[in-house]
Amino acid sequence: MDLKGALAARTRRMDAALQEALALEMDRKLLDAIRHLPLAGGKRLRPAMAMVVADAISGSGERTIPFGVALELTHNFTLIHDDLMDRDDLRRGVITVHKAFDEPTAINAGDVLFARAFEVLTDIECDDATVREIVRDLARTVRLIGEGQQNDMDFERAESVEEGQALRMIELKTAVLFETACRGGALIAGGTPEQVEAMRLYGLNVGIGFQLQDDLLDILSDEATIGKDRWSDLREGKKTVVLIHALRNARPKDRALIEATVGREGVTDDELAKVVKALQRAGSITYARDLAKRYADIARSHLAPLPPSGHRDVLEALVDYMVTRER
Amino acid sequence: MDLKGALAARTRRMDAALQEALALEMDRKLLDAIRHLPLAGGKRLRPAMAMVVADAISGSGERTIPFGVALELTHNFTLIHDDLMDRDDLRRGVITVHKAFDEPTAINAGDVLFARAFEVLTDIECDDATVREIVRDLARTVRLIGEGQQNDMDFERAESVEEGQALRMIELKTAVLFETACRGGALIAGGTPEQVEAMRLYGLNVGIGFQLQDDLLDILSDEATIGKDRWSDLREGKKTVVLIHALRNARPKDRALIEATVGREGVTDDELAKVVKALQRAGSITYARDLAKRYADIARSHLAPLPPSGHRDVLEALVDYMVTRER
């Protein structure tokens, strides 16, 4: 199974479709702003998954393209607004939109991408009832993502956050879009109700595993590899599963260090490097890694209702990739 | 024809529907933020127009309710983001969302309202093909509104703006939503293609007239009446039709005053009062008022394809209201 090849072909296909969807006649500055992030690369994981799901069900991956574009535009719109809300400077190795342009333009560019997503969604070549259902799904998903973002911001200021709350936040902020991607792919492919529901659960669980790994990368990777600000979560005091575990399980001295450092204004890289060591000592990295693998196992189990095929193998390999990837 | 009564009944109906659409289980702060502006009152003009159009075509106004909710949520989302981009403090007599909460929450609340609009849109009781068309229409409209907002911001910094550009900006930022409201009402009502197109043009032209009057109110009204910052346009240097006319037609001394005052940092109310006098002397107020009336005449002419009825009379009376209203 050549996962890399299977994904690369779909990434190229999506890159072309995105170019096309963003070839609009409009105000030059706004056009540059809406193209800045979506065309700066990216793995196109959500559209790729919708496509592979549709291929696995009825070989109809190509029909998911407008849906994939809508997913990717939605994803990019949320990134642009989140980076502004979180005051991040770097994303996919490029300067964030509010830094490259200005804050009002970043707000506006996000809104326009969001609108464009729903416009493109109506181009899906499938029956109108399915389009209605997918519009509802995606709209609800964006609403939940907003709720997740709000939790994320609230939790940074909260005294104590439970692991359950952190996982629910991950579900809202990240996993629901994977859920919608996989469910939508199955709907467009004309899957059975059982397949549609299985793909929803596949996407949801793989999405949670993906975000747990994303949180680990923020701690363990360097900037050049992940293409965004390193240790951004620790700087902002984001209540990740890793941090919550450490606050419960680290030895007293390490816990005091973590509490005094994480989320503090003006914290240095040296201090954060010490926090990373403390997280490792508390077993919190290993704990989050194991948890991600458990979600991956659940995701894999939901592939059963799909007929055996190379496409299903891709979905299976994708699960491992999502929770072990290094960027 | 009791326009006030006809509108009031529909405003009440919409207020109830909006309450319902925003009765969501979510993060308390975010919920308060998304309810802050939509439930602070407002004329509900766009939904009311969609309703009256549907009533005039086939007595099916009630069926437009979810569409009306979507229009009103969309309108409120754009107001929340615009107020943030423009740094306005007051709207409908209440503090703007970014002031009452904070900027990240205002960005997020706008996004969530936008998402909710498309979610509710899928509840319209009509055939799926019409829903698909309305989703496309509304999505395209929001994209154009974003473009209009960008023009608005660009124009404030521009050396010179033509009247044609200012009118195009009004069309994008305001009129397209009235266009979509009236066209959508006609679609839901099962209007003929001729009626659908006539209602589109009715909404578009009445929307331009509405915004011309809105720009006049910014100049001529006091804060308590319009419920938002007075002279906000003059303070920000917004290139309205009035201002563009005055810069061409005012006597040299007045023009110099206008150029030195409008859009200047820290400008005082006394100075702006003098600018208003200069705009009046240049005939620019009268000019914009006449232009609004011309758009009103065009709008009225597009009512011809509707059968005579009390509802059509409401649409006719609405035109006059839109371009002469005092708040």
Q: How far is B14 from chain A (nearest CA, A)?
A: 21
Q: Which of B143, B145, B171, B177 to mutate to test the interface with A (most CBs of A within 10 A)?
A: B143
Task: Please compute the mean of the pLDDT values over residues A116-124 and round it to a whole number.
Answer: 97
- Which helix (H) or strand (E) is A95 found in, with range? strand A94-95
Name residue A91's beta-bridge partners: A94
Nearest Cα residue in chain A from B148: A27
Do B108 and A142 make contact, defined as CB atoms within 8 angstroms? Answer: no
With CA atoms as reference, the chain B residue closest to A169 would be B27
- CB-nearest to B119 from A122, A140, A153 is A140
Helices (H), A221-266: 223-226, 232-236, 241-249, 252-261
Query: Token pair of B113, please?
Result: 């309202």
**pLDDT tens by residue, B88-132:** 888 888 899 999 999 999 999 999 999 999 999 999 999 999 999
- Whether B187 has a pLDDT exceeding 80, the answer reads yes
Q: Inform me whether the C-beta atom of residue A87 falls under 8 Å from chain B C-beta atoms.
A: no
Please name which of B152, B157, B21, B135 lies closest in space to residue B78, comparing C-alpha atoms: B152
Question: Does A110 sit within 8 Å of B104, measured CB to CB?
Answer: no
* Beta bridge partners of residue B94, listed in sequence order: B91
Q: What is the 3-state secondary structure (H, E, C) of A115-184?
A: HHHHHHHCCCCCCHHHHHHHHHHHHHHHHHHHHHHHHHHHHHHCCCCCHHHHHHHHHHHHHHHHHHHHHH
Number of CB pairs, chain A paired with chain B, less than 8 A apart = 150
A102 touches chain B (CB under 8 A): no
Cβ atoms of residues B50 and B181 within 8 Å: yes
Tokens of B38: 């939509």
**B 15-34 residues with CB < 8 A to A:** 26-27, 29-30
For chain B, say whether A125 makes contact (Cβ under 8 Å). Answer: no
Q: Which domains are seen in chain B, by residue range? A: 3-222+296-324 (1.10.600.10)
Q: Say what the pLDDT of residue A227 is.
A: 66
Inter-chain contact A146–B108, Cβ cutoff 8 Å? yes
Look at residue A77 and tell me whether its pLDDT is greater than 80.
yes
Give me the phi and psi of B73, to 5 degrees please: -65, -40
Q: Does A112 touch chain B (CB under 8 A)?
A: yes
Lowest mean pLDDT among A59-63, A99-103, A153-157: A153-157
Is the CB of residue A2 less than 8 Å away from at least one CB of chain B? no
Tell me the whole-structure pTM to 2 decimals.
0.93
ipTM of the complex: 0.92
At residue A282, the 3 state secondary structure works out as coil
Q: What is the average pLDDT across A320-324?
A: 91
To which H or E segment does residue A276 belong? helix A269-281
Q: B129: nearest CA in chain A?
A: A128
DSSP B241-255: HHHHHHHHHS-HHHH
Report pLDDT for A224: 64
Reply yes or no on whether the pLDDT at B225 is more than 80.
no
Partner B contacted by A156 (CB < 8 A): no
Chain A contact set for B107 (CB, 8 A):
81, 84-85, 107, 110
Chain A, 191 to 220: residues with Cβ < 8 Å from chain B are none
B147: which chain A residues are within 8 Å (Cβ-Cβ)?
26-27, 30, 112
Mean pLDDT of A143-172: 92
- pLDDT score recorded for residue A158: 84
Is A139 in contact with B121 (Cβ distance < 8 A)?
yes
- On the question of pLDDT at B227 being above 90, the answer is no
A11-51: pLDDT as tens digits = 999 999 999 999 999 989 999 999 999 999 888 999 999 99
Rounded to a whole number of angstroms, the distance from the CA of B170 to the nearest CA of chain A is 15
**Chain A residues within 8 A of B109 when measuring between CB atoms:** 146
Q: How confident is the model at residue A149 (pLDDT cuts 50, 70, 90)?
A: very high
Of chain B, the percentage scoring pLDDT greater than 70 comes to 98
CA atoms within 13 A on the CB side of A3: 15
Angle at B76 between CA A133 and CA B167, to 5 degrees: 105
How far is it, in rounded angstroms, from Cα A29 to Cα A58? 42
Of B80, B86, B69, which is closest to residue B134 (Cα–Cα)? Answer: B69
Q: Does B86 have pLDDT greater than 70? A: yes
Please indicate if any CB of chain A lies within 8 Å of the CB of B102: no
Tell me the sheet residues that pair with B91. B94
DSSP B307: P
A85 interaction partners in chain B (CB closer than 8 Å)? 103-104, 107-108
Q: Share the mean pLDDT of chain A.
A: 94
Q: Residues B269, B229: contact at Cβ < 8 Å?
A: no
The pLDDT tens digits of the residues spanning B121-175 come to 999 999 999 999 999 999 999 999 999 999 988 888 888 899 999 999 999 999 9
Confidence of residue A226 (pLDDT cuts 50, 70, 90): low
A contact test, residue of B67, B69, B112 with most A CBs within 10 A: B112
Of the partner residues B111, B121, B153, the one whose CB lies closest to the CB of residue A142: B111
- List CB contacts of A69: < 8 A, sequence separation 6 or more: A14, A17, A18, A21, A47, A117, A120
Burial call B274-303: b when 16+ CB within 10 Å, e when fewer? ebeebbbebebbebbbebbbebbebbbebb
Are B107 and B73 in contact, with CB atoms under 8 Å apart?
no
Range from B60-74, B162-176, B225-239 carrying the lowest mean pLDDT: B225-239
How many CA within 13 A on the CB side of residue B283? 7
What is the rounded average pLDDT of the residues B36-49?
A: 94
As a whole number of angstroms, the distance between CA B154 and CA A327 comes to: 38
- Cα separation, B192 vs B306, whole angstroms: 10
Say which DSSP state A308 is in: P
Of the candidates A85, A133, A143, the beta carbon closest to that of B115 is on: A143
Q: Do B107 and A85 touch (CB under 8 A)?
A: yes
CB contact under 8 A, B146 and A108: yes
Beta-carbon separation of B139 and A154 below 8 A: no
The minimal CB distance from A146 to the residues B111, B141, B151 is found for B111
Please report where in the chains the tokens 């970043």 appear, as a residue: A106
Structural tokens at position B211: 């915004």
Look at residue A208 and tell me whether its pLDDT is greater than 70: yes
Q: What are the backbone angles phi and psi of residue A11, rounded to the nearest 5°?
A: -60, -45
CB contact under 8 A, B122 and A105: no
Tell me which H or E stretch contains A98.
Answer: helix A97-100
Confirm or reject contact between B140 and chain A (CB < 8 A): yes
Is A139 in contact with B149 (Cβ distance < 8 A)? no
**Rounded Cα gap, residues A178 and A46, in angstroms:** 6
What is the torsional sign of CA B49, B54, B59, B61? negative
Which residue from B131, B135, B149 is facing A108, i.e. has the nearest CB?
B149
Number of CB atoms found within 10 A of residue A227's CB: 16
The whole-number pLDDT of residue A222 equals 73
pLDDT band at A223 (very low <50, low <70, confident <90, very high): low
Give chain B positions within 8 Å (CB) of A79. none
Q: What whole-number distance in Å separates Cα of residue B255 and Cα of residue B250?
A: 5
Mean pLDDT of A219-231: 74
What tokens does B137 get?
């229409």
For chain B, what is the mean pLDDT?
94
Query: Mapping DSSP to helix (H, G, I), strand (E, B) and coil, where does residue A91 land?
Result: strand
